[in-house]
């Protein structure tokens, strides 16, 4: 079930938010502690307007809430809510014995840890200690994405109705996957600025992006490994495809710092496939059971498929980038053969792009601010490299940005000075968010012909979809979805 907490500071706004929440939620949590100068009359006014089940919560400051009054007053207010017909009352584990339960109201007995997720044995001890609960609630803070695994295990072994999730950005996946692992409910905000806990997604995002009400125990998991991942359009793109193709699957953002711990730990969840982005495209190769020949030749992986428990690494960046450049050139009757291409960057994306373009006969030069990385990549690809300061002297016909410079939110940055751009030069920016980067704006202003990274993003994602599912991907709708979403975000 989906529960939306209401966090308005006065009764009038609270009632308005309750009406809005009723349109998307299965339950509403009345965060009474947010109401300034809370009185019993406020509670009466709110519960009188109940249209769906309500949870009454009045969280004290010591538990991350806003109520600053006495415990006696707080418990009295919650008892009043129960007497008026609140379906559930959320009460902290350390004061549950002081609360007088009302007939017809169920108790959610909660434990919160705002700094970490304890080890599994400690979680079990906490769980077993929450006696007298109709619903057990354990909420911890995820410092690493692997902390979620302990929460998932706790849910799978639970015998009492249980809410268990992790706060913070790394914990967002626990909110999305709540129905898969049997959580009694998950929490989602009414909108930006209305969150009641860190890492809370909006209800609309859960429903529209992650197809929340279709997630169940049989749902296959896919996702994006990287850091950062919050900006990615991958969840929107792949989850839309899953929905359109009638597949019971969900694609998640996996913000990953410790790559080996993540890949090895998440094998237990039987994740069906991954996209891989900055900064893990090269390091992930060592963790694969097998490498596709193209990925091995390139020396970078951006796609992982789980084939009967074996993780196989692929690279779809190379094919996608080459196709984007070829499509652009073909409009002018040109080909890549013999074209002088300068690639800025020396990471996994640069490696894939350089390999693909060189295979088509282009003359590649690698430029990177850390020259040793450019030299190393040039040696692997079999091309030349130059110092970053020599950019202006290079006679490039095609300039490709394979760095993250200019990517959202740092949209005012550019990887190269505008002075090096010349009329007639092709400029391809692999950054797709925003579609028109500062580099591309300046290039167009100089009379260059430009190619944005969104087309590459869609093509590489389409190839991933085909590797994972064995089905052709709907590339035109995919590109339209992402362009529309990015345009709305401006």
Whether the ω angle into residue 119 lies within 30 degrees of 0, i.e. cis, is no
Reply yes or no on whether 147 is catalytic: no
Tell me the pTM.
Answer: 0.89
Quote the pLDDT of residue 485.
85
317 is catalytic: yes
Give me the catalytic one of 66, 80, 93, 137.
137
Q: Can you give the pLDDT at residue 105?
A: 94
Q: Is 137 an annotated catalytic residue?
A: yes
Q: What are phi and psi of 226, to 5 degrees?
A: 180, 180
Contact 204, 210 (CB under 8 A): no
Out of 80, 112, 238, 339, which one is annotated catalytic? 112
Of 66, 80, 281, 339, which residue is the catalytic one? 281
Of 147, 317, 429, 452, the catalytic one is 317
Phi then psi for residue 227, to 5 deg, are -160, 105
**Structure-block tokens of residue 74:** 């707080």
Active site residue 281: yes
- Condensed to tens digits (0 to 9), the pLDDT of residues 193-219 reads 999 999 999 999 999 999 999 999 999
Per-10-residue mean pLDDT of the chain, 490 residues long, equals 97 97 97 96 96 97 94 96 96 91 92 97 95 92 97 95 97 98 98 94 96 97 94 91 94 96 96 95 96 93 96 96 96 95 94 95 96 95 94 93 93 95 96 94 97 94 96 89 83
């Amino acid at each position: 079930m989906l529960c939306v907490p209401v966090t308005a500071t006065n009764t009038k706004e609270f009632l308005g938010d309750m009406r809005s929440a009723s349109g998307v939620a299965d339950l509403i949590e009345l965060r009474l502690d947010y109401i300034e100068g809370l009185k019993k009359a406020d509670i009466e006014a709110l519960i009188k307007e109940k249209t769906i089940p309500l949870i009454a919560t009045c969280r004290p400051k010591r538990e991350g809430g806003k109520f600053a009054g006495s415990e006696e007053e707080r418990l009295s207010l919650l008892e009043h809510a129960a007497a008026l017909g609140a379906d559930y009352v959320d009460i902290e584990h350390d004061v549950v014995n002081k609360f007088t339960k009302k007939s017809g109201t169920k108790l959610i007995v909660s434990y919160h840890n705002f700094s970490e997720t304890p080890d599994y044995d400690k979680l079990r001890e906490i769980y077993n200690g929450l006696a007298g609960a109709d619903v057990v609630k354990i909420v911890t803070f995820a410092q690493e994405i692997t902390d979620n695994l302990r929460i998932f295990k706790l849910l799978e072994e639970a015998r009492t109705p249980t809410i268990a999730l992790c706060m913070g950005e790394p914990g967002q996946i626990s909110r999305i996957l709540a129905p898969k692992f049997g959580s009694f409910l998950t929490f989602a905000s009414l909108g930006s600025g209305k969150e009641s806990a860190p890492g809370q997604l909006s209800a609309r995002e859960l429903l529209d992006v992650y197809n929340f009400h279709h997630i169940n125990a049989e749902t296959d998991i896919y996702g994006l490994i990287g850091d950062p991942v919050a900006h990615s359009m991958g969840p929107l793109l792949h989850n839309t495809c899953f929905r359109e193709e009638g597949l019971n699957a969900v694609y998640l953002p996996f913000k990953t710092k410790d790559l080996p711990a993540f890949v090895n730990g998440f094998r237990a969840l039987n994740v069906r496939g991954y996209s891989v982005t900055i900064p893990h495209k090269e390091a992930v190769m060592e963790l694969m059971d097998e490498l596709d020949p193209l990925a091995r030749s390139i020396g970078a992986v951006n796609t992982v498929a789980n084939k009967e428990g074996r993780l196989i690494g692929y690279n779809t960046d190379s094919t996608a980038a080459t196709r984007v450049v070829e499509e652009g050139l073909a409009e002018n009757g040109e080909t890549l053969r013999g074209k002088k291409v300068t690639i800025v960057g020396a990471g996994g994306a640069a490696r894939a792009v350089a390999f693909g373009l060189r295979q088509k006969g282009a003359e590649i030069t690698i430029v990177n601010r850390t020259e040793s990385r450019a030299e190393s990549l040039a040696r692997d690809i079999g091309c030349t490299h130059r110092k970053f300061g020599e950019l202006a002297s290079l006679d490039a016909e095609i300039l490709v940005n394979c760095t993250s410079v200019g990517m959202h939110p740092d949209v005012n940055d550019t990887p190269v000075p505008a002075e090096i751009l010349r009329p007639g030069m092709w400029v391809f920016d692999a950054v797709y968010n925003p579609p028109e980067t500062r580099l591309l704006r300046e290039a167009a202003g100089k009379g260059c012909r430009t190619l944005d990274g969104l087309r590459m993003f869609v093509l590489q994602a389409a190839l991933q979809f085909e590797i994972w599912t064995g089905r052709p991907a709907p590339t035109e709708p995919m590109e339209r979805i992402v362009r529309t979403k990015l345009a709305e975000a401006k």
